[in-house]
Structure 1
Amino acid sequence: MNQSADAQLAVGWERCTWDGADTPMSRRERAVAQGPYLAAVPPAISGMDFDITSAIATEAEDALVEISHFDAELANSLPRADGELAPLAVVLLRTESASSSQIEGVTAGAKALAIATLHESSGQNARMVAANVEAMQRAIDLADDLSTDSILAAHRALMDGQAYAGPGRLRDGQVWIGGGPTPHTATFVPPRYERVPALMEDLVAFCNRTDIPVLTQVSIAHAQFETIHPFNDGNGRTGRTLVHAMLRRSGVTRRLTVPVSAGLLTDTEAYFAALGSYRDGDPAPIITQFSRASFAAVGNGRHLVTDLTEIYADWQQDLPSRQGSAARRLLPHLLSQPAVAVKHIQQHLEVSQPAAQRAVDQLVEAGILKQISTGKRDRVWIAREVITALDNFATRSGRRG
């Protein structure tokens, strides 16, 4: 990007009055929190031109091709459910959601997430990651109508039940990143809330442009979203759902959610540094981070596909029940939902309680399912091999469970 464009993209700053006199803090913190603070004034980008070097543009284009190839490969991988590529699509959606949450410090292993998806007893982190799955799906479903309202809908799904975050509403106060109880010593102070609605409309207009290479556009849109920081909480995770909505809208992905966040996890320090560089006027590092994350995500995703394909083939050999039985019909579902309960199976397969229990018994006898809860009521079984494959995926991406 040339020097004049750098200056054009860099955020400006404005002096703001701090009205948090009643905020509890130490004497040292209060001494620092005197007088005005500086809040960012991001530029409008909807009509901006971006001069990206050929090397960075080529790497981004190569990454985009790799994503598209990976998406197309799914047509010949893993069993289909009801004519769709549901199992793997759901698996990748959940792994991406878990990785996106991990970047924000919210961790949940595959077992906890699978149980949370059943709406059974689970930890808070697992429930938060499960909400992120729903938010990401909501954003992808609304990809053809990319607007402030669709972004608000994704945030509403993500932060449902967390009143402090104002689910589905733009913030109405100042927020800041790092630095203690006031914005005076923050790492970054996003714009005043009064600027947010107009900035979001400008961002949406930028997202709907068709004259910018897709991954370059996605990277810049994500960085601009994080700079605006439009919500009280959940900005990082909502901003990464925007990535997938844009990839789906552009036609790069048609079947799945490429786990780009898992790729970003391999070097989160570089990711956050790239956001800082963007705010200083240089979009090259964030484009590079998304390109590298895409390559890493596709490689890791292919590894996961291989693992799950081998697991499914072994299951087919190990399960003696006939074709069309409830137990065999449940196998594809276990790839995407490796924790099940009898009631869940009844609803998914539309079978009676005895038929669902019989399917569980056959799968337990074949070594495919293992009961993890005690007692005779509200029992839960897991497909341990799938849990292991998903946890291995997390380990390769640097995510902890």
Structure 2
Amino acid sequence: MSKDAPPPTEVAIPAVQGEEHNWRVDHHGSPASRTALAAANGPYLSAIPARIAEYEPQLPASLAADLAEAEAALSQFDQYSRLVLGFDDPRIGPMSSILLRTESTSSSQIENLTVGAKQLALAELGQAKSDNAQTVTANVRAMEAALKLADNLDESSVLTMHRELLLGQAGWEGHAGAYREGLVWVGTSALTPRGASHVAPQPERIKPAMADLVRFMQRQDLPAIAHTAIAHAQFETIHPFADGNGRTGRALVHAMLRAKGVMCSTTAPISAGLLRDTEGYFDALTAYRRGNAGSIIATFTDASLFAAHSGTELVDSLAAQVDDARQRMSGIRSNAVAWRVLPHLVANPVINAPFLVRRLGMNEMAAQRALDQLVRTGVLVERSGFRRNRIYQHDGILAVLDVYAQQLRRS
């Protein structure tokens, strides 16, 4: 736990057990020294996850009250975002995807994958030069898949989320949507699992452990955030994939919150809450494996409260940018094509003519006319400097998103 964290809340859960194996590194072709190789070889313990399908957490009254408050806060945020961003208003259109992208960016940042709002927006246009932007965009696809599959959470759904994630991650496509066949561990050495903070189960244990986890996820008798936190911790303990376990596990969080009716319209920035104290988050996962689910439940409770509060501020800031754009466009006739573009600028603050042709069905002439109108009124600026294939951006929306991300990094 972080230095300033309160004492952990005890919620007993069966601890992860271990089984001993022997690790051998091939000396031939290894760049490591003889001393390092000698230390790498030897016995290690890999995890045997407890079965939790029938687990009944005994929640202290104070934690139960905090959970109820956090769940209510998320539901209120969901309703408020729907009201402010106007998802049902055809004049405004759905803008919730920007919240999903914000959450995907924060989830990726926990894995030290950092990308600015502009690069992520360029990636959506296929124009990004950043490898991180492509990887985070793949995380967006995994989140989208998680929400679409929320009504049918089974092993196939989890594999689909992972497939969407790794198909966009260069070099890992062959592992997409498939359980790992080798050992993985959480630690500082790529050479050996010896000394790792967590050695995941042997590959043959994955399928029965995931089947047990799915049974747990499908229950309807547990408080939503506690249920979600425990499922997430169990997933991270199983670590079923060769890569992308953290991001898939956090996408699973949103699928469960959608399935349980807490978040019906939007995506709350819960990973942003976790990002404020990644040390505490990882410590809570360790505590879970040692037999205390209280820390991970409390961590997700705090992250949910932060998500509701900071998400509301983010929505208000984005809405203010839309209001400013409307005022700038007040002199344009009501049937001008630029008005059709405005609702999409929150989710897509960097656009070009092909985007409008593809997304809104405009012809090329109408698309360029809309862009010219938005530039003339000061809503968009052209920043690429190209004579052809120009790219336009909304500086205010990009600034709002970058400031939000910077505040998380500072905290």
Q: CA deviation at 1:128?
A: 0.6
1:64 maps to 71
2:304 maps to 294
Q: CA deviation at 1:83?
A: 4.0
2:399 maps to 388
2:4 maps to none
CA deviations over 1:77-124 (Å, ceiling 9, x no partner): 134477498543111000000000000010101011000011113210
Cα pair 1:87 1:335 within 8 Å, conserved: no
Say which is worse superposed, 49-58 or 269-278, in terms of deviation: 49-58
CA deviations over 1:56-84 (Å, ceiling 9, x no partner): 12111110110011111123213447749
Say which is worse superposed, 111-120 or 342-351, in terms of deviation: 342-351
Say which is worse superposed, 196-205 or 114-123, in terms of deviation: 114-123
Q: CA deviation at 1:49?
A: 1.8
Say which is worse superposed, 178-187 or 243-252, in terms of deviation: 178-187
Work out which of the residue numbers 290, 295, 302 in structure 2 matches 1:280: 290
Aligned counterparts of 1:85 and 1:154: Cα–Cα separation in 2: 29
Cα pair 2:25 2:40 within 8 Å, conserved: no
Cα pair 1:14 1:39 within 8 Å, conserved: yes
1:75 maps to 82
2:381 maps to 370
Q: CA deviation at 1:190?
A: 0.9
- The one-letter code of the counterpart of 1:375 is F
Cα pair 1:2 1:51 within 8 Å, conserved: no
CA change 1:164–1:74 in 2 (3 A) is closer
CA change 1:94–1:367 in 2 (3 A) is same
Q: CA deviation at 1:399?
A: 7.3
Aligned counterparts of 1:391 and 1:75: Cα–Cα separation in 2: 22
CA deviations over 1:219-245 (Å, ceiling 9, x no partner): 000000000000000000000000000
2:341 maps to 330
Work out which of the residue numbers 102, 106, 110 in structure 1 matches 2:109: 102
Cα pair 1:85 1:255 within 8 Å, conserved: no
Give structure 2 stretches of 5+ with no counterpart.
1-7
What secondary structure does 1:105 align onto?
A: coil
2:5 maps to none
Q: CA deviation at 1:367?
A: 1.3
Aligned counterparts of 1:112 and 1:197: Cα–Cα separation in 2: 37
The correspondence of residues 1-400 of structure 1 with structure 2, limited to 5 A, is: 6=12, 9-22=14-27, 23-80=30-87, 83=90, 87-161=94-168, 162-164=170-172, 166-180=175-189, 181-319=191-329, 320-398=331-409
What secondary structure does 2:266 align onto?
A: coil
Give aligned-pair identity as a percent: 42
Q: CA deviation at 1:398?
A: 2.5
- The one-letter code of the counterpart of 2:126 is H
Greater share of helix? 1
Q: CA deviation at 1:370?
A: 1.3
CA deviations over 1:298-333 (Å, ceiling 9, x no partner): 111111111111111111111122223211110110
What secondary structure does 1:203 align onto?
A: helix
Give structure 1 stretches of 5+ with no counterpart.
none
Aligned counterparts of 2:406 and 2:308: Cα–Cα separation in 1: 15
Aligned counterparts of 2:80 and 2:373: Cα–Cα separation in 1: 32
**Root-mean-square deviation over aligned CA pairs:** 2.0
CA change 1:311–1:85 in 2 (3 A) is closer
Cα pair 2:95 2:344 within 8 Å, conserved: no
Aligned counterparts of 2:20 and 2:231: Cα–Cα separation in 1: 26
Cα pair 1:102 1:399 within 8 Å, conserved: no
Aligned counterparts of 1:148 and 1:85: Cα–Cα separation in 2: 37
What secondary structure does 1:36 align onto?
A: strand
Q: Under a length normalisation based on structure 1, what TM-score does the superposition of the two structures give?
A: 0.95
CA change 1:388–1:371 in 2 (3 A) is same
Cα pair 1:311 1:386 within 8 Å, conserved: yes
Q: How many residues align?
A: 398
